[in-house]
Amino acid sequence: MKPKMDGPIPGENYTSDVRNYPWHRPPDITDYDQAVEYVVDQISKPQSITTIMSLLEAGFNLTSIVSMLNMVNISNGKYPIDVSILIAGPVARYLQILGKKNDIDVKVGDEGERKFITLEHLKGLAGITEDDGTPETTQEALTAPVSNDQVPSGGLMGVSPGTPSESAPASVQSAMLGYSDDEEEEV
């Protein structure tokens, strides 16, 4: 069987148009004061305040929320990474003040427990229930810390502990490698 040669050519990325993604273009904001003002205006929208205050009330820390805001704005090409690092402190302080105004006990740092913002967390905070018979997300489930034995090892694409390691059938593996059933194996 011959593998199909339809992968990228080495170095092809150097000849492609790099303006396809917002982070490949110059950022919209490069000034510190403008970036802080932009994020504060973005946070001050009623829908944003509701979401952020719900996350703070559920026990998420400021570090996670500010990192999430910065990641979104960097990926949208609003400001560069170095500006995001500079504005992280003032944005966190602004959120801390908003949290205290709303009588929320705001956690500043990681404080030893890992909590990830997931779709289930956001559904639970919004009060969305599943009608297909699955149990509703409870506040206890939202605020429960994630134990280290539940965190995947080996990076982002790591396998969670306790996951059975089953290999795909040979025909599926051949299809993944670009081989088809029609082609015969060469000697």
Question: Would you list the domain boundaries of the chain?
Answer: 22-143
pLDDT of residue 178: 74
Return per-residue pLDDT of the chain as tens, 187 residues: 666 667 777 877 677 666 667 777 888 999 999 999 999 999 999 888 888 888 888 888 888 899 989 999 998 989 999 999 999 999 999 999 999 998 988 888 766 555 666 667 666 666 666 654 444 545 555 555 555 555 555 555 565 566 666 667 788 777 777 776 655 555 4
8-state DSSP, 6: -
pLDDT of residue 80: 92
The pTM of this model reads: 0.55
Helix axes 32-43, 81-101, angle to 10 degrees: 40
Q: Are 53 and 102 in contact (CB under 8 A)?
A: yes
pLDDT of residue 107: 83
pLDDT of residue 160: 59
Name, in order, each residue with C-beta under 8 angstroms of 72's C-beta and a sequence gap of 6 or more: none
pLDDT of residue 84: 94
pLDDT of residue 39: 94
CA distance 165 to 158: 12
- Per-residue pLDDT of 49-97, as tens digits, reads 888 888 888 888 888 899 989 999 998 989 999 999 999 999 999 999 9
pLDDT of residue 170: 80
